[in-house]
Structures are given as C-alpha cells and as structure tokens.
Structure 1
Amino acid sequence: MEKQHNRGQDGAGIATVKLNTEPGVPFMHRLRSSAPQAIGDIFAKVRDEIDEIEKYQPEITKYPGLMKGHIRFLGELLMGHLRYATQGKNNVELCHPFVRHNTIPARNLALAGNFNLVNVDELFKFVNVEPGETHRNSDLAAMLEVLHHFLSKEDEERRNGLDVKNILQQAFSMFDGGYHVCGLIGSGDAFVMRDAHGIRPSYYYVNEDVIVAASERAAIRTAFNVGENEVLELMPGNALIVKENGEYSVEQILAPKERRACSFERIYFSRGNDEKIYKERTALGYNLSETVLKSIDNDLRNTIFSFIPNTAEIAFYGMLKGLEDYLNKIKVERIVSWGKDFDEEKLTEMVNRRIRIDKIAIKDVKMRTFITADTSRNEMVQHVYDITYGTVRPGIDTLVVIDDSIVRGTTLRESIIRMLDRLGPKRIIVVSSAPQIRYPDCYGIDMSKIGDFVAFKAAIELLKDHGKEHILQEAYGLCMELQRTNTLHAQNVVRNIYKPFTTEEISAKIAEIITPSDISAKVDVIYQSIESLHQACPNNLGDWYFTGNFPTPGGNRVVNKAFMNYMEGKNERGY
C-alpha cells in the first residue's frame, strides 16, 4: 500500500478473510480511515491488537493458529486500498473496501478497486436498491450490490461450490466504465477483474507462497523483489480467479474490445519508477524539445530550464536530452565549419557549452494537489511550492518550466507563476508534457466538472472574443434534445465548442488565464501534441481527455451532462 500511496492520499482501508474458522467465529473484517496519514493510522490500530496480545497473553504468539483467532487482520485473504477524492468530501464511509455481510458465509463480499462507472442509477434500479445519501453516487456501492445479487443467486442455485466465473460474467457485462477491481468472498474465493478496453491498469504476480495483484507493476516488483517479466499484466476483459485451496486461473470474462489503456496513467498518475513508464515520460519530454527550441529562437545562452516537482521530473530529463542533442549537433557543425581556424581557447569554449538547468521550484509539501479533495485544494496550492533565489539574471533570462499536465491552471495562477516572476525573468514558458485536457473523465481519474478545466475556460473566452457565443447555446440546445430523446450518449456535443479554434489559439488564451495581472514577465504555454503523445505511449492510446474520443457511450453522456451542468450553473458531477 505504501508503494502505491501516490494513487490516493485521502483515505485507506483494509479487509481480511480468514479460512477454516469455527462456526460462529467472525471471518471477514474491515478497517478504514480518512485520517491525514491513513495508512499509518490503520496499521497502528492493527499493531495495537498485536501489542495487547504480546503484553497480556504472550504465550499465544508462539502459535500462529491461536494468533489468527485473536488478531482480526491476520488471515489468508488480504485486501488494501487507497482513496483519492478529486470530487466531493473526504468521507470515511466512501473509503474502500465496501462490505456486504450475510449470515451465509458464501454470500459475504468485500470489494475495492480503481475505477469509475457511469451507469450507477441503472445498476441500483436493476437490483431494486434505493441507496442512502452517502452512497447515492457511489459506483462501488452499485457494483457491490450487483455483484452480491449474482453471488447470492449463484450460491442459492449451486450447493457444491461457487462458479465465480459465471458470477463475474453476469455482473460485469452490466458495468459501463473502466476498472481494476478486487473482490473477497466469504467462501474463501477471490478475484481481480479488468475492464474489456483495458482502461485501468492491472498486474499480478504468483509464486508458491502468494498470489498478489495491484494497479502498478513497480509496486509488486519492489514489495516482492522480483523481475519485470515475473509480474504479468492482466489482459482486458480477463479475471484472475483464486479458489479457497490456492488454485488459480486467468479467465476471459468479457470479450476484449479495442485497447484504450489510459494515457494519463503514464503521464502523471502511476509512479515513474516502472521502467516502461520511465521511458515513456522521458519520450514525452524529448518530443517537446524541438517546439521549445523554436519558441526561444534557439537562444540557449539566455534560457534556464527547470521543472515543476515532482511528477514532471522525468519528462524534464527527456526534454533536456533533446536540447542536448540539438546543442551537440550545433557544436559539431560549428567546429567543422572552422576548418583549421581555431585555437585551444576557442575550442574549449565551444565544447564546454551546456544547457542551463536549475531547480527553480521546490515542493515543500509531499502531496499531489490534483488528487486532493475540492475543499482543500485551493488553500493547499498557496503553500505547496517555493523558489530558489538568485538563479535568474533579471530582465535577461527566459525561464522554461515543464509540468506533467495543466488541468485547472489553479496551481500555476495562484502560486507558481507569481513565485517565478519574483526571480525577474523577462519571459516564462510553461511546458505541459500532456496535451490540452478538454473533456471530463469518467473511467478512473475522475475529472467530471468541465467548467474547472482551463482549456474549456479558454475556449469560452475565445467564443466571447470572436462574438460566437451562439455556439454555446446551440450546443446546449442539442444536448437538451439528445436528453429528451434519451440519446445523450450518441455524440460528444462539446467538440463543437473547440472546433472554431486552433490548438495554438487555445494555448495562447490559457496563457492569459493563468497569468496574474500584477506580474512583469510575459507568460506562454506549450502543450504536447496528440501525435507525440501516441508516439511516446504506443500501448496506452486512451486519449479521451484530450480528444473527446470516449471508449464507451457512457463517456459521451458524461461530457454532455457536464456541459449542461455548466450552462445551468450547477457545481456538480457529470455522472
């Protein structure tokens, strides 16, 4: 869990199933926390139980079987989850795992995952459940009810063990979204399931002692000290099913569809110590170097390069490699052009030319503002960063800083641009290793309020500047008509809002939006192109954030609903 802490900072939870317990003895336990250090809080409570046994009944610690009976979270099936709350309040009741209890052991179910579903209302209606206020919009609650419905049905019809594959085929055929989800069943069976498009990442490792699955390959490699090829990817539409006796199989549950693995995982969300992700982020930075050079007229003498820590650091190294390749090419061309007309001093000066790099921005808080709950994000960005003074020649140097992505622009406008301007650069260029984020996501990263996106704000401002506000009303009218005919999923209407403008025009307007009125430096923004993104991340072509090309019809419904919410002044999720 600690090695995937990057995936969730707003809560954590664990669950355990004990096998072969005596009748009447609890066998499924769960513990959740939304404390500031949730992982530490949870395992401190687990440790307290152990300390109490060691203090008052030390003889029990010599017998694992007895320990299992006294320690709630000592069991054979273990589940851990980390929550991030980009939407709404950080409520411990929304932390995974969710549990459905039943007096019949095989009908007990614990569920946790990395996912979003866009058809929650339909799922609750199918199982005839009216959720409480807390869980009304919870896709995990809906998934739990549907899975429990088919689990109970399976247990009722079969008396000689559960057919977990059959349960999963019935339930997951109903889910519209992206997911990597794990379930523990009271019978001792367990499963891990991945969506048919492979939107969310899913990996597993098996040896003679353990079977483990996680959202990130590197987390498994580090925890178990194993090689890359020993950790396998769970393919789209597949489930890893583990029986009570330890036997396991990988089963095709859903027919695989076009692979649309999430590119934002590679750009930002996953840890960068996975060797494939490291290479991809390096390529993202490298691909931007030519555009950056053009923007500064190849003036490397008067340009300092840096990055916004911490997730942009790898892309920075890639951009630096591209700049160094250009500079080395220039060195060779100049030296060759001299012929024999050079001396040691002249040659030394040329050979020793370097790309100017400095660590300009410093991150004081080890938190990721993008995946922080709405209520605390704006306050947090004011205090996360600081700068290194004395690195810039005031009025002379251009400062180029690369960020992994620009979603809302809040951190740039409220914190980073203001601080960088204190150094006195004549120009600030912000480089994004991701393309412009234009559309909501509903498959796991969970960006659902379109009015928050700085690219959308820029398009709206451009429509106003060009007297084309009628496009907004036409798009809203079309959405209303689609909703009336129950076809809101048929097309992505929001594309019409971006259509009149080039990427460069939108980038220029974004630069205006993120520039505070009281700073001196000129601010520009450079974005990754869609083509370069695909070239850098060829196996993760899920790009709907940037293109609006959603992998399931539910995505179109979400983006249109999010736009309608914006037009109606509703500050709520698009699904």
Structure 2
Amino acid sequence: MGELHHECGVAAVFHAPGAAVSPMCPIPGDVNSVARLVPRMLLDMQNRGQLAAGMASYRPDRNALIKVHKELGTVAEAFRLNHKSEFEAILSGVDGPVAIGHVRYATCGGDDRYNAQPFERDHGRRTKWFAFAFNGQLANYKTLKEELLSKGDYHLKRDTDTEIIMHALAYELQNEDVDPDWVGIFRRLSEWFDGAYNIVLITAHGELVVARDPLGFRPLCIAESGPLFAVASESVPLANLGFQKIHSLEPGTIAVANAEGVRIERYAPSPKQSHCFFEWIYFANVASTLDDRSVYLSRAGLGKELARLETVPRDEGTIVVPVPDTAKAAADAMAFALGVPSVEGLMRNRYVGRTFIEGTADRAAKARLKYTPLPEVMAGKRVLLVEDSIVRSTTMRALVREIRDRGRAREIHLRVACPPIIAPCYYGIDMSTRDELFATRFAEYDGDRLIVTEEAQDLMAKELGADSLRYLPVDSIARSISLGPDRLCRACITGDYPTEAGRDLYQIECHPDTAAASARKRAYETAVATS
C-alpha cells in the first residue's frame, strides 16, 4: 500500500585473482568488468529501496584502490541507465574485480546523498581502508552513539547507525595487520550491536567480507561458480546472473573471499533465529527463495489461510481482487480454494515516479495516481479485496472509497493476509510509531497480550468504509512460511521483541511519560534521553 518501506538491500561480487575470467563477466575476458554486475543485481532488488543507490569497487591498478559512486534515486537514475554514454562513464570509473552495492530506503538518517551507501573509510594504510554497505537497523544505535562519543575524540557527522558501524569497524581494525582477524572483529561487534545487520565490505587489499547477524533478521544469499562469488539480499539477483547453487548465509557467520579462496566461518553463536516474517509476505521479490522458503509459496499459503476462514456468501457475483502487486499470490490462492474468480480489478500505474507521488499531499489523490479501479470488472460485484498488510490505514481508506465510487462495487470485504500490526519495528522496517498504527487503536489486552477481536475488526471495517474486515491470526504466519514461530521475528504483530534493546524501546514507546515524544518521533530517536 505504499505505507511500508524497507531499510535497504545489499549486493557484492568477487572474482578470484589470477583465475581464468568467468563467462559471467559482462565483457568477455575482462576481469575488471565484474563490477558491472552490481547495477544489474541492484535492479533486481529495487523493491527493497528507491531513495538512493550506489556501489564501491576495488581495483589494484588505479590510485584510488577503492572508489565509490552513489546518488539519490532509483538504480536507473543513480547509474543513468537510460543514458548510455553517462552510464559507461560511471561504470568505467568504478570497474574492478571486486565490488559491493546498495539500494536504500531510510528508517534513520537523512534523505540526502550524504547518507547514501556504500560508506568509504579512507586511510593511508590499506588495512584500515575499506568501504561497506549495510542492510538492517541497530535497535541500540542511540546508545552506541553515546558510548562512542564518550570514548574521547570522536565526532559524528551523520545521525545514522551506518556511521556507527563504520567507526566500530575502524576501531576494531586499528591493531590488525595485513591479514585481519575478521572472526574476532565481528565477534566483538556482535557483543556491542543489538538488532539487524547484514554487512558487505571490501578492503584496499581486495578482500570481500560478508556478515549476517546472529539472529538472521534479514535474508542474505550467497552463490559461487568457478572463480566468481556473489552475494545479495535475495536469491533473484543471483539466479538472474545464472548461478545454479544459491543458498543462505547462516546467521552468525561470515564469508571471506580473497586470493586464498572463499571461506565461511562462524563468528558468533546463533542459539535462536528471528527471521523477519515480513520478508516473505511483503518485501522480497515474489520469485525469491529465502532461508530455503519460497516467497511465492509462502504468500500462496497466506491465501489458503484466508480461504479457510472465509464466511461471506459466495455466488456468481463474487470476485477476489488483489491490491497490486504483493497481494496477488495470496489472492489467487484464496480464490482458487474458494472456487471464485481472481480478477485484476485494480490496475497499478508502474510509470508514476516516486517523487511525483510523494509530491502529492492528499492520500486519496495518491491512491488515484497509483491505482485505477475497473468498473467493467467490479461494478455490481461482491468484492473480496485482498491486501498484504495495513499500517496506518490512510491509503486503504482512500482506496476503498475509490473502489466503491469509481469501481462501483456492490460490497467490499477487506481481507488482510497478515495479522494486525500493533507494534513498531526497530530492526529495519519503517512502521512509524505505535500511536500511528491503525490496529493499535482497536487492540485490547488479553492477559499480557494485545489482541484485535472480531468485534474490533467490525469497527475497523466501518472506519475504513468496507462492509467487513478480516485479518489472519498470528499462528497462520508460521504455517504459511513453514518455519516454526521460534525461528521468526513477529514483534510487530505480537509486541514480543527478540532482543533486549527492542524490548526496551517498546517499553519507552508504551510508557505514558514518553507517549507524547513517541507520537512525534520513533522510540529509538528518544531512547537516550528517556531511558
């Protein structure tokens, strides 16, 4: 619905030095063309961030051993993909046998080029010279900032956890020689960091280091073919390059690629996992496979769960309509199970730019820009409208009105392929503050748990202008993804956070003394002052 945004996506490629040039290289016989794979990979992850895009590369035969290019906008805008000469000029400046890339949506830090990634830490000693990109969010980054500033002569130019990570890496590298102990470095960082972090890093020695946090919040896929090793936040970029064997980097492990080959080592124990369930139901490309679970099949499973709970009478005038695009797999599976048609009653305008939409203040106007309801499909019909989630409700409210007025639907029964979102995310998804979440206003305590009852869902339907509303129950998520609830982070639908900092931030947000501040800022923005 345009109300949820992800932190970002990362990519990396490494070509073994001295090896025959891989046939996957964009320019045959040119090992330095490996870096050109990065913009292509980022295009396949554009769903993970459209605010900025960038890449950094290593090349041993240039003065700037590490070079960075990054700009605001989509991948096409940042790399000038529609302007061949400009694109070639950019890529010729950052080509090389090792490279990393990043697409960004900000949950903290500013919306300017200065905060775009990768970040480079320039240094006269090659061991201390590196560039890195980061996917996730440190729940304790405000505390980390205070601790870092208290160490002495530190100055931070940005208000973002990415800069904290850069300084932490630099601090750990200060006593390392030309062969850093990456296992020890990330082990020490894991004792300091609380939250989600996938990191791709290149050094001025031509080494690639990839790390996934011990809880595995965000997905991270790796693949190897001959001399080429590649990494991406999702499997699709790797599959589209032609890699056959793609698997997930285990939580709490690092992959180090250098002249000696690729090695994978554990840097921290991972006694429990907390994979973000939203990756499967919303964020990831529907063609991806994450931690051995298909995104498409997971979303289809959500649709079957919706069908199992459906009680609305069905006749030849009943249709299922998905809200494009992420709800389509769930809607199709639901319709098939119910024996009713799944039709595209809403057309999405894929050519309206992000800036154009964000420049429109009115939510109803934004809905009209993004979606066109088809009266030829929906007029006089009982519509089961399937959406993947509702966050603040403002866009959904406008969309229901559009379907009733312009689409001329007889009835609108809203079906959400997700439980009610009752708590914010502190691990890399922009879910705003607790007070702005639609479902929180209707939730009530059942013992120590917040729940949204069927009666409350009836009230929510009336407020949205729908004839009825049904969410999925919490336990349906684990069944659909085929992962046990103990391996999933479901904090936004349960209020049960898997890390100490997450639990502390939620208490801050719920505390009456900080409620006013939380209404204006996210909890982690006020954590230092209030905790």
What TM-score, normalized to structure 1? 0.75
1:106 aligns with 127
1:132-190 superposed Cα distances (whole Å, 9 cap, x missing partner)? 46x22x11111111011101222xxx3x5222222222223211001221111222222
Structure 2 residue runs of 5 or longer lacking an equivalent are 1-41, 525-531
The C-alpha deviation readout for 1:415-445, integer Å capped at 9, x for no partner, is: 3433334333332111111111111111122
Matched-pair contact (CA < 8 Å) for 1:14–1:32: yes
2:98 to 77, 90, 102: 77
Aligned to 2:18: none
Q: Distance in 2 between matches of 1:541 and 1:410?
A: 28
1:389 maps onto 2:411 in alignment: no
Q: Is the CA contact (8 Å cut-off) linking 1:124 and 1:131 kept in structure 2?
A: no
- Deviation by residue 1:542-564 (Cα, 9 ceiling, x = unmatched): 21111112110111122233345
Tell me, in whole angstroms, the C-alpha distance in 1 between the residues paired with 2:138 and 2:446: 22
C-alpha separation between the residues in 1 aligned to 2:183 and 2:517? 44
DSSP-derived class of the 1:390 partner: helix
**Pairing 1:544–2:491 present:** yes
User: Which whole-Å CA distance do the structure 2 matches of 1:86 and 1:361 have between them?
Assistant: 29
Taking the aligned partners of 2:454 and 2:148, their CA distance within structure 1 comes to 49
In structure 2, relative to structure 1, the CA distance for the partners of 1:178 and 1:86 (3 Å cut) is closer
Q: Normalising by structure 2, report the TM-score.
A: 0.81
| Aligned position for 2:36 | none
Alignment of 1:445-484 (within 5 A): 445-459=429-443
1:90·1:373 contact (CA, 8 Å) conserved in 2? no
Aligned partners of 2:433 and 2:518 also within 8 Å: no
User: CA separation in 1, counterparts of 2:519 and 2:307?
Assistant: 40
The 2-side partners of 1:246 and 1:50 are apart by 33
Q: Partner amino acid for 2:329?
A: I
1:39 aligns with 2:76: yes
Q: CA RMSD in A?
A: 2.9
**1:389-423 CA-partner distances (Å, limit 9, x unpaired):** 233453xx321110111111121112343333433
Q: Which residue of 1 aligns with 2:326?
A: 311
Q: 1:267 — aligned with what?
A: 281
Paired letter, 2:407: L
Does the C-alpha gap of structure 1 residues 374 and 561 become closer, same or farther in structure 2, counting only changes over 3 Å? farther
Alignment of 1:431-510 (within 5 A): 431-459=415-443, 499=450, 502-510=452-460
Q: Is the 8 A contact 2:436 2:519 kept in 1?
A: no
Q: Equivalent residue for 2:403? A: 419
2:243 pairs with one of 226, 239, 243: 226
> 1:140 is paired with a residue of what secondary structure?
helix
Give the Å deviation of 1:505. 3.0
Contact 2:375 2:408 in 1 (8 A): no
More helix by share: 1
Does residue 504 of structure 2 align to residue 557 of structure 1? yes
Aligned with 2:395: secondary structure?
Answer: helix
1:62-461 alignment runs, 5 A limit: 71-85=92-106, 90-128=111-149, 131-132=155-156, 135-136=158-159, 138-154=160-176, 158=177, 161-223=179-241, 225-227=242-244, 230-243=245-258, 245=259, 247-274=261-288, 276-292=294-310, 294=311, 296-297=312-313, 299-324=314-339, 355-365=340-350, 378=363, 380-394=366-380, 397-459=381-443
Partner Cα distance (1:77, 1:261) in 2: 29
How far did residue 104 of structure 1 move?
1.2
Q: Is the 8 Å Cα contact of residues 303 and 334 (structure 2) preserved in structure 1?
A: yes
Separation in structure 2 between the aligned mates of residue 511 and residue 117 of structure 1, nearest angstrom: 35
Partner residue, 2:53: 12
Give the direction of change, closer, same or farther, for the CA distance of 1:374–1:267 in structure 2 (3 Å limit). Answer: farther
In structure 1, what is the equivalent of residue 468 of structure 2? 524
SS at match of 2:414: strand
Are the counterparts in 2 of residues 434 and 528 from structure 1 also a CA contact under 8 Å?
yes
Shift in alpha-carbon separation, 1:571–1:131, aligned structure 2, 3 A: farther
Which secondary structure does the structure 1 equivalent of 2:409 belong to? coil
Q: Which amino acid aligns with 1:362?
A: M
Deviation at 1:125, TM superposition (A): 3.7
8 Å CA contact 1:89, 1:374 repeated in 2 = no
Deviation at 1:210, TM superposition (A): 1.2
Amino acid at match of 1:101: D
Which AA in structure 1 matches 2:183? K
Partners of 1:101 and 1:172 in 2: CA distance:
24
Task: For 1:149, give the aligned amino acid.
Answer: Y
Structure 2 CA distance for partners of 1:38 and 1:250, relative to 1, 3 Å: same
For residues 498-545 of structure 1, what are the alpha-carbon distances to aligned partners after superposition, in whole Å with 9 as ceiling and x for unaligned? 74x643233223223322xxxxxx521111111111111123622111
Greater per-residue strand proportion: 2
* AA partner of residue 207 (structure 2): D
Q: Which moved more, 1:426-435 or 1:376-385?
A: 376-385
Identity across aligned pairs (percent)? 23
Post-superposition Cα deviations, 1:357-396, rounded to whole Å, max 9, x if no partner, equal 4321111135799xx97997946444211111233453xx
Amino acid at match of 2:203: I
Larger Rg over CA atoms: 1
Query: Is residue 567 of structure 1 aligned with residue 511 of structure 2?
Result: no
Distance 2:216 2:523 in 1: 23
SS in 1 for 2:503: helix
Q: Secondary structure at the match of 1:282?
A: helix
Give the distance between the partners of 1:191 and 1:208, measured in 2 at CA. Answer: 18
Could you tell me how far apart the structure 1 residues matched to 2:162 and 2:367 are? 30
For each residue in 1:35-63, what CA deviation from the matched residue of structure 2 results, as whole angstroms up to 9, or x when unmatched? 3x34343255996478579xxxxxxxxxx
Aligned-partner Cα distance in 1 for 2:348–2:77: 22
Contact 2:442 2:452 in 1 (8 A): no
Alignment gaps of 5+ in structure 1? 54-67, 325-354, 464-493, 516-521
Contact 1:448 1:562 in 2 (8 A): no
SS for the counterpart of 2:93 is coil
Q: Is the 8 A contact 2:317 2:382 kept in 1?
A: yes
Distance 1:271 1:569, change over 3 A: closer
Structure 1 residue 88: deviation in Å? 7.0
Structure 1's 51 and 367: CA in aligned 2 closer, same or farther, altered over 3 A? Answer: closer
Rounded to whole Å, the distance in 2 between the matches of 1:497 and 1:421 is 42
What amino acid maps onto 1:505 in structure 2? Answer: E
State how far apart, in whole Å, the 2-side matches of 1:102 and 1:376 are: 45
Q: Distance in 2 between matches of 1:141 and 1:368?
A: 30
1:41–1:290 distance in 2 versus 1, CA, 3 Å = same
**Contact (CA 8 Å) 1:120, 1:139: kept in 2 or not?**
yes
Number of residue pairs matched?
468
SS in structure 2 at match of 1:82 = strand
**Letter paired with 1:555:** G
